[in-house]
Amino acid sequence: MFWSGNYITVRTLNVLLKEQNFTLAQVLEADDIIQECKADNKALIQFLTKPEILAELITLITEEPPKNVELAQQYRHASIACEVLTSQLPMLNDRLSLDTVQMNRLCDFINRDPPLNPLLASYFSKTVEMLLERSTKQDCYLYHIVCLRVLDFFKSRRDFLPNLLRHIATSAIADIFKYFIRLDDLFHKIVMEWFEEHQLLESLIQIICGTYVPEELSPEPIENEPQQSDPHIDQENNVTEPNHNEEHHEGNKDSDNEESDTDENGEGSGEGGSIGGGSSKGAGRGPRRRSGGRIGGAGDRAGVASANAAALLCDLILNGCAVEGCSSWSSTALWLCGRVGGAAGVRGVLQAAFTSPAPRRDSALVHAALLLRALLHRDPILPDAESERTSVELAIAPHLPLLHQALLQPPPDDVRLKGRDWGQAGGQQGARGAGRVGHARVQVAALLAHLALSEVDDVATTLLTLGTPGVMLDMFFEYPDNNFLHAEVYTMIKNALSNQAHRPQYARHLFEECNLVTRLMDAFEENENREVPRRGYMGHVVLCLSRVARVAPETLQAARGAGGAAGTAGGPRWAERWARFHRDKLQPLLDVHETPLGGYYPSEHSFEVENMVDPADNYDVSTVGGRRLRSPPEPLRAPFSAARVLRRPLGALFFNFCINVLASNYRRNPQAPQCQTQRSP
């Protein structure tokens, strides 16, 4: 073989390290640099931990590469340098944490004006993660020393955490907060005091609602910091800095030619003193930032920052910012979840959302609704999950009139013209010319649909008094092309009719006041005409009719009796029509939908194969281990259950496939060789 001959001559790293006057660039070009780092090559570690080499590595991952280099090679050395720094070398971590000059140069990367280079930001994020997380080669004592040293250094930089918040629009920077949150419980007090000092949670909620104003802080010099400059560092900076300055000069030149926009963060303030209050230090003052840079203007960056902050808090609430596959929560994560999930936290989120500036209000409602839904979806395994859910629902109840009003407000005209409305599928207008729904209204409808399952009296009473289910049902038929909205209305109907405490009240409201069944039957029969284009909501109409048919008999009978006594549209005529419709049209359709493909369900157990249909009909019935392989002529038909299919082990499905397909093909060929227990010579 070609590879076994080893005909390629490769200059190994060990040979290079034995030479004189070799450079870091030559070491990074070696093919086995990463392997040697992971193998703890002593000569390589001694070379990498030299102060001048460590300075070069920091320069590569934080400074823009020269523009005169070929594009494919610009970030090659920077990428390899990042891999070397994060290759879990305990001595390299210790030396970097001790070097105050290089730590300051590392932190100076986020002192730049936004937007940051996303690739360099990812290298910075990985380096910070390496300094904070314990490697497999690091003992517990050394890890605690390095981590405490790094945390003390970051805390001494008064501008570090505000700069992270200022650049949260860069996703790699947003991930750095997760590294601090999931630190060991030993560092919980340090991180908690640091977050409290800078009001991290309040700042994140203000970013979500568009009312955050960055703190104007200058970096404080570290005591006993050496002031002499490294000539090697100066040489590197002289190479890269002119291009960096030129780039900023061009960006400022372009931005001067643009028309200045109003600062979206300059107006709007909420109540101070609570989590998420719109007021902050320096609110209403500070220079207005003009658009410019790599990724659009300040408005676009504010929207991305709002989305990243909301995603960070949702991940904190649902997973505790833990690493994938890890179920343990840190004390910092539990403390933050307790604050944002408390009554004061929920009220602060809603107040900040409804008092946000008008241009940012829709985005604030979208992310506030996502955050509240995450609080309502918390894992029931967690301690006091049910009581926390009830407290969240009680805190939302006073703001239900505002959420109901948000359903009635169409999206702004500029959103329609720019086509940035995510709430409308396909970008088409409704059949009745009603325009678009809007992303904000879809997310508010999703939150209200989830609240229909609440057993809190204040929530159910307020929703029924406002007529919120009726408004959502009207929107269902008003916007026939928006399947996102249709799914939330169906969820509302399902949750309302499944509510153990308030199901009769919801059923009476839907069947009598909203005339739900009649409207669903009219929509179904209207779309039976083949000449009329089928409406986009027909799939959810069938789901709603199926859910109505599954309602408990006593609840449906009570609704019919109340309608007949009142003489409304849901009277005896509705009951008779429903009986005919269910028997002649709905039930045959449901039977077709519930029939599994192929006429039977595969067995849930690996060795229950009696109820399987063998696809081969040209061979005799045989047995395997005394079990029949052919099913009865009439296969069993069970109602469809998605949970049953999802619970089926993958091994059982593969076993069924082997029995029905592979074994049948094997039996068709009588000349197939038998299994050999010993290899033939």
The closest alpha carbon to 181, from 166, 168, 169, 191, belongs to 191
Instruction: With CA atoms as reference, report the closest residue to 367 among 566, 209, 185, 189.
Output: 209
Q: Indicate whether 103 and 53 sit together in one domain.
A: yes
Tokens at residue 327, please?
């179920």
Share of the chain above pLDDT 70, in %: 65
Q: Please provide the distance, in angstroms rounded to a whole number, between the alpha carbons at the two ends of the chain.
A: 26
Q: Is the pLDDT of residue 382 over 90?
A: no
Indicate the SS3 state at residue 445: helix
Both tokens of residue 398? 């006073």
Task: Please tell me whether residues 480 and 548 are part of one structural domain.
Answer: yes
pLDDT of residue 330: 83
Query: How far apart are the C-alpha atoms of 653 and 649, rounded to whole Å?
Result: 7
Predicted confidence (pLDDT) at residue 246 exceeds the cutoff of 50: no
Q: Are residues 123 and 52 in the same domain?
A: yes
Are 203 and 339 in the same domain? yes
Residues 54-85: pLDDT tens digits? 999 999 999 998 888 888 788 899 999 999 99
Number of structural domains the chain divides into:
3
Q: How far apart are CA 469 and CA 615, in angstroms?
A: 49
Examine residue 243 and state whether it is found in any structural domain, yes or no: no
Residues 6+ apart with CB under 8 A from 517: 511, 548, 570, 574, 578
| Domain of residue 494, residue span | 400-411+438-559
- The pLDDT tens digits for 422-471 are 444 433 444 444 578 999 999 999 999 999 999 999 999 999 999 999 99
The verdict on residue 629 lying in a domain is no
> Is the model's pLDDT at 420 over the cut of 50?
no
Q: Are residues 191 and 337 in the same domain?
A: yes
147/192 same-domain check: no
Residue 8 pLDDT more than 80? no
Domain contains 611: no
Flag whether 631 is in a domain. no
Shared domain check, 404 and 370: no
Residues 6+ apart with CB under 8 A from 626: none
The model's pTM = 0.73
Q: Tell whether 500 is covered by a domain.
A: yes
User: In whole numbers, what is the pLDDT of the chain averaged over residues?
Assistant: 74
Cβ atoms < 10 Å from Cβ of 358: 11
553 in the same domain as 512: yes
309-325 average pLDDT score: 82
Q: Is the pLDDT of residue 592 over 80?
A: yes
Mean pLDDT value across residues 599-606: 58
Q: Using 50, 70 and 90 to split pLDDT, how confident is the model at 609?
A: very low
- Residue 18 and residue 106 in one domain: yes
Q: Could you give the CA distance from residue 120 to residue 126 in angstroms, rounded to a whole number?
A: 10
In a shared domain, residues 22 and 137: yes
> How large is the C-alpha radius of gyration of the chain?
32
Single residue among 532, 559, 586 that ends a domain in this structure: 559
Q: Which residue has the higher pLDDT, 661 or 476?
A: 476
Give a yes or no: residue 201 inside a domain.
Answer: yes
Question: How far apart are alpha carbons 211 and 452 in whole angstroms?
Answer: 31
Domain closes at, from 559, 589, 608: 559
Asked whether residue 492 falls in the same domain as residue 526, the answer is yes
Torsion of CA 447, 449, 454, 458, to 10 degrees: 80
pLDDT of residue 385: 66
Cα separation, 504 vs 464, in Å, equals 12
Q: What is the pLDDT of residues 185-243, one digit of tens each?
A: 889 899 999 999 999 999 999 999 888 887 765 544 444 444 334 444 344 444 333 33
| Rounded CA separation 178/195 (Å) | 13
335 and 202 housed in the same domain? yes
Does residue 249 lie within any of the structural domains?
no
The residue from 516, 544, 559 where one domain ends is 559
Residue 59 located in a structural domain: yes
